[in-house]
Every structure is written in C-alpha cells, then in structure tokens.
Amino acid sequence: MTALKMLASIAAALVLQTTLARFLVRGSIGVDLVLVVVVYLSLRSGPTVGIVSGTVAGLAQDALTTGVVGIGGLGKTIVGYLAGTVGTVFIVAQPLPRFLVFFVGTIIEMTAITGFHALLDPGPHLVPVGAIVAQAFGNSLVGIVLFQLADALPRIAERSRTGRD
Amino acid sequence: MALPDIRQRSGYLFLIVAVGHIILISAQVNSRSGVPLLEALVFGAFAEVQRATAAVVGSARDTWDGYIALHTVHEDNLALAQRVSDLEVRLQRARALAGESENLRRLLALRDRSQMPTRSAEIIGTSATADFRTVTIDRGSSDGVRADMAVVSPSGAVGRVVMPSRHAAKVQLLVDRSASVAVMVERSRAQGIAMGSGENLLRLEYVSTSADIVKGDTVVTSGIDGIFPPGFVVGKIEEIERSGGTFRAIRVRPAVDFSGLEQVLVVLAPPTVVGPQVPAGGAERRE
C-alpha cells in the first residue's frame, strides 16, 4: 500500500460519500463510505495504515462538516488502529469475519463519536442505537462488496487479458 | 511514496495521533466558563503542577523555618519580650496621661463654670487608716489654701480642707466618719445634714418629718454651712427607712468616686452664709 493509493482511495470515498451516498440511504439506513474505506485499508495493510488513513479520512470528513474538527478523525483513527490490529493478528479473509470487523468497527466509531459529543456538551443525549446498528449493517454489506470487487478485479483483468491473447 | 516504517510502533503512533486529536478538539471547544477547553485543560494541569510545587516548597520552607533555622529564635524572643515590656510601659503611661488630661479638662470646665476663685490641686496621698477618710493635696497655705475651704471636683463635692501646711493640705472627704455637710434635696428643697459614716454611704440627718424625699432624689450642697458653695452635687438618695411618721435612716450614695480622685479644685472664697447655722456646726473636725 502506498500513501498515494491510500489518499486516492480516501478521496474517492469522500467524493462518493458526498455525492452518491444519499441515494443509498433508505429511511434510517445510512452508509459511511469513508469508514468502509478506512476499515478496508486497515484490514489490507495493518494498524499503521489504519491509523494514518483513519486520521486523514476523519479529519477530511470533519473539515467538510460544521462540527468540531477532530471528533470524526479520532473515531476513525481508533477504528483504523483496531481493524488493522485485528487484520494482523487474525485471519480475516472470509466474508463473515470481514462482515464482523466492519460491523463492530462501525459500532465503535459511532459510539465513540456519540461519547465525545456527550463529553463536550453535557446534558441529556439520545443514543441512536437503531441508526448505529443500521449503519453497521449498511457499512458491513458495502464493505463485503468492496472486498469481493477488489478480490475479483485482478481475476477479471487476467481473464480479459487471456481472452485477447 | 512508501509509508514510513513505523508499523512496529503502531501503538505509540496511535497514542500520539489520539492525543493530537484530543488537543485539536480541545482547541475548538469552550469549557463551561467560556474559556477554550484546551486552555482550561492546560491551565488546570499547570495549576496542579504549580500547586504541588508550591506545596513541596512550602513544606520545605516550613521545615527549614520551624526546625532548622531556629538558632536565632531565642535571641529574637528575648528581644521581642523586652520590646513588649517597653511598649506596655509606654501604653500604661499614655493611658495615664490621657486620663489625667481628661480629668484636667473637666476640672478646668468646672472652674470656668463655677465662677469662683479656685485653686487646682493634685492628690498626692491618702489617709493612713480606713476609718478616717482623708487625702493629701499638693497645695498648701503658700497657695492660699486655708482650713475649712471646700474641695470640689467635676462630679460634685469632695470634702474640706482640715489641715493645711505650707505646700500641702489634708482634705477630709465627705465619707469620713466625722465629716458633715449641709445639703438639700434638689427636687423638694428639703434640707438636712449629710454625715460621713466611714463607709461609702452618707447618712442624711436632721431632716424634717414632713420633708418630701423619695428614693433617687439628688442631694446637693445648700451652702448654709459656710464651707461649701451651694449647688454642688453630693449624691443620690439610695435608701429611706421610716418608722411611723419619722425618718429612721436616709442613706445617700456619694456622687464622687473617692477612690478614683486625682485632681480637685479648692474653693478659695467661702460662700456667703444666707441661712441659719447648721445644727452640727458645719463640718466638724475630729481628727
């Protein structure tokens, strides 16, 4: 993994998130494509890439919002670090383990962000458990698809090259 | 472009990045007091460091001052004790001067008010026995003081001169057991003779059975004894005992605190006698 690829992936996720993600939302089901990319990169390349990608992606995402810059960055950094560590310690090559990593990663990120907001703004806060779980499902599904596509793309490219030959 | 080779130390990197995020977040958020959270956190942490440092320094200084640097305390203590003693003496002297000044001021006011020829005098001695209540003043015949001259104070009648010498005189106080003074009740003008008892009370004698006297009446000199000018306060009626229609005993509390006398006035000119002589012959000298 090169830094350029990492930055390109994050930028692409941001563009898609800000332009197309709203079409993926149905009711309370949301998808955070940036988080999906961060977890993907972390599982592929380890905790360091997870930290860096989580920081860059989170800060960039924060910068595009009106909230406090750093909260999303910290949340994604945590998730990137944990996902990268899991990817190096365990074999996460099957859809189900990947699904779990995406799912738990989303839960952790949204819980962390909700907690930070609660810390900074004391008072009654409604924890959107349903939205968190829904987004965790959405992210996990997109993440599995992303992995499948990423795994399939080299094979497809190989076949088309073989067919031309 | 390759990523930096810090993978082995991803935990440290995570901590560094997380702290960086927290600092970044804190810099944007205000605390409840309106101060930026980062500033509040830094100041709070720094204040704790300062507090801890001050506590350590304070303890060290207390230990030094309280246990080690005590070699000069004894000398300091002696010097301070000496200074306290000197100041106490000065204070007492100042108080005495203030009291003396006040007494003199009142005496001067009395002299101006009475419009009589008087001579101020200071009490320089008291009697040798308790039964006979006399004092010695620092004015004598050389100052124009003669026997049977009245002695007064701002509080009222004090006594009479009984034995003048050249530069001093003995004054018989009203409470002396052989002293007497012609008086009258200020309210009803009832007349009588106030006689000393050797105690701090006077007996009022020779009072008419029909006299209007009640407890609390003020008794003043009547002037008919030819010694005391009229109108000087002698005391107040404190107790009245009746037996049938007559007075058994009338006791008068003197107006003057004889134990606190310091300065007095000697009335140099005797009053003009306007009435009959008092039965006891004025102030009788028995010493």
Residue pLDDT, tens place only, B143-165:
999 999 999 988 899 999 988 88
Q: To the nearest whole angstrom, how far is the Cα of B64 from the nearest Cα of chain A?
A: 45
The CA distance from A120 to the nearest CA of chain B, in Å, is 7
Q: Do B13 and A48 touch (CB under 8 A)?
A: yes
Chain B CA closest to residue A113: B25
Which pLDDT tens digit goes with each residue over A101-157? 999 999 999 989 888 888 877 666 666 788 888 889 999 999 999 998 888 888 888
**CA atoms of B138 and B143, how far apart (whole Å):** 9
- Determine the pLDDT at residue A24: 57
Q: Is the pLDDT of residue B217 over 90?
A: yes
Identify all chain A residues contacting B41, using CB atoms and an 8 Å cutoff. Answer: none
- Distance to chain A for B34, nearest Cα, Å: 13
* pLDDT above 70 for B281: no
Nearest CA in chain B to A56: B17
Q: Is the pLDDT of residue B1 over 90?
A: no
* pLDDT for B211: 86
Of A53 and B1, the structure prediction assigns the larger pLDDT to A53
* pLDDT digit string, tens, across residues B45-63: 767 777 888 888 888 888 8
Q: Which residues of B touch A (CB under 8 A)?
A: 1-4, 6-7, 10-11, 13-14, 17-18, 21-22, 24-25, 28-29, 37
The pLDDT value recorded for residue A163 is 72
Name the closest residue on chain B to residue A46, using Cα atoms.
B7
Burial class (CB in 10 A: 0-12, 13-18, 19+), A137: middle
Quote the ipTM score. 0.78
Q: How many Cβ atoms sit within 10 Å of the Cβ of residue B196?
A: 24
Q: Are B209 and B240 within 8 A, CB to CB?
A: no
pLDDT band at B284 (very low <50, low <70, confident <90, very high): very low
Is it the case that residue B68 has pLDDT exceeding 60?
Answer: yes
Q: Give the residue-averaged pLDDT of B53-77.
A: 82
Nearest alpha-carbon partner for B175 in B219, B136, B133? B133
Mutation target to probe the A interface, by most A beta carbons within 10 A, among B21, B25, B30, B37 is: B21
Is the CB of B25 less than 8 angstroms away from the CB of A46?
A: no
What backbone torsions phi and psi does residue B234 show, to the nearest 5 degrees? -100, -40
pLDDT at B89: 80
Q: Is the pLDDT of residue A2 over 90?
A: no
Q: Round to whole Å and give the CA distance between B37 and B233.
A: 81
Q: What burial letters (b/e) apply to A70-90, b meaning 16+ CB within 10 Å?
A: bbbbbbbbbbbbbbbbbbbee
- Please state whether B231 falls in left (phi above 0), alpha (psi between -120 and 50) or beta: left
Q: Which residues of B touch A84 (CB under 8 A)?
A: 10
Choose from A38-52, B120-134, B252-266 the range with maximum mean pLDDT. A38-52
Instruction: Encode pLDDT of A14-38 as tens digits.
Output: 888 776 655 555 544 578 889 999 9
Convert the pLDDT of each residue in A51-89 to its tens digit: 999 999 999 888 877 678 888 999 999 999 999 999 988
Check: CB of residue B180 under 8 Å from CB of residue B195: yes
| Helix, strand, coil percentages in chain A from 3-state DSSP, rounded to 5 | 80, 0, 20
Interface contact A3-B18, CB threshold 8 A? no
**Which residues in chain B have Cβ-Cβ distances shorter than 8 Å to A10?**
none
Say yes or no to pLDDT of B276 above 70. Answer: no
> What percent of chain B is modeled with pLDDT above 70?
84
Q: Chain A residues with CB inside 8 Å of B18's CB?
A: 74, 77-78
Provide mean pLDDT across the span B116-138. 79
Those residues with Cβ within 8 angstroms of residue A32's Cβ, 6 or more apart along the chain or in another chain: A17, A21, A106, A109, A135, A139
Taking the CA atoms of A20, A25, A30 and A36 in sequence, report the sign of the dihedral they define.
negative
To the nearest whole Å, the CA of A164 is away from the closest chain B CA by: 33
Subunit contact B21:A52, Cβ cutoff 8 A:
no
Q: How far is A37 from chain B (nearest CA, A)?
A: 18
- Compute the count of residue pairs across chains A and B with CB atoms less than 8 Å apart: 63
pLDDT at residue B224 greater than cutoff 50: yes
Write the DSSP symbol of residue B167.
S
In DSSP terms, B159 is beta-bridged to B151, B173
Does the pLDDT at position A50 exceed 90?
yes
pLDDT at B286 over 50: no
Categorize the per-residue pLDDT at B229 as very low, low, confident or very high, splitting at 50, 70 and 90.
confident
Average pLDDT of span B30-48: 68
Closest CB to A46 among B4, B7, B21: B7
